[in-house]
Amino acid sequence: MNITVPKGLKKDEMYGYIKKELSKAAGEGGDDCAFLANSSAILNLFLQDINWCGFYLWKKGRLVLGPFQGKPAQTEIDAGQGVCGTAAVTGAVQRVDDVHACTNHIACDLASRSEIVIPLKKGDIFLGVLDIDSPIKSRFDEMDERGLTEAGVLITGYLLAEKTFFQD
Ligand code: SME
């Protein structure tokens, strides 16, 4: 796997590349952990102006830190706690323009200013979240939400086929 990021990509083109690289990563073998580690690396390569990018996985009713890029982060998040825990209980994408104005935000990196959390779910099955932080206020727009939701669908499909992470 040798990924180069073309210069001057428009946002919709960038999400096309991200989905293509995630699909390739899904075909590379390994297990859930290997795939999620490479997925966080792919997202981190393509997305500009971010300072944390990774996964929390739903285990025994709480979110547990998974593969990520960025500073060390809180290892467990209860249902309903923080932006990630809110995504877990609502099943809805959380797009926070200014985390300083969000009372239910867990600061893992003080540089973070905006955040997007994508639930990884299919029907009633909830596997965890994709969490991305940016040091820039209002970094994530509707196009990011759409592109990352599509990336989340792809990642969820792989995890459901693989399942090894979710065996207790
Ligand atoms: N900010 C998240 C916690 C995880 S860190 O951003 C990596 C939250 O409020 O749930």
Residues 152-165 have pLDDT tens digits of: 999 999 999 876 66
Cα(82) to ligand 1 centroid in Å equals 6
pLDDT band (50, 70, 90) for residue 30: confident
Ligand 1, atom nearest to 87 Cα:
10
User: What would the mean pLDDT of 92-103 be, rounded to a whole number?
Assistant: 95
Beta carbons of 134 and 51 less than 8 angstroms apart: yes
Look at residue 18 and tell me whether its pLDDT is greater than 90: yes
Residue-range domain boundaries for the chain: 11-162
Cα(106) to ligand 1 centroid in Å equals 5
CA angle 101, 104, 108 (to 5 degrees): 90
Cα(108) to ligand 1 centroid in Å equals 6
The residue to mutate among 90, 104, 133, 139, having the most atoms of ligand 1 within 8 angstroms of its beta carbon, is 133
Look at residue 166 and tell me whether its pLDDT is greater than 90: no
Amino acid symbol at 166: F
- Residue 162: predicted pLDDT: 79
Topology given in CATH for the domain delimited by 11-162? Beta-Lactamase (3.30.450)
Task: Write out the two tokens for 51.
Answer: 């300072």
First to last CA, the chain: 31
Look at residue 116 and tell me whether its pLDDT is greater than 90: yes
pLDDT band (50, 70, 90) for residue 167: low
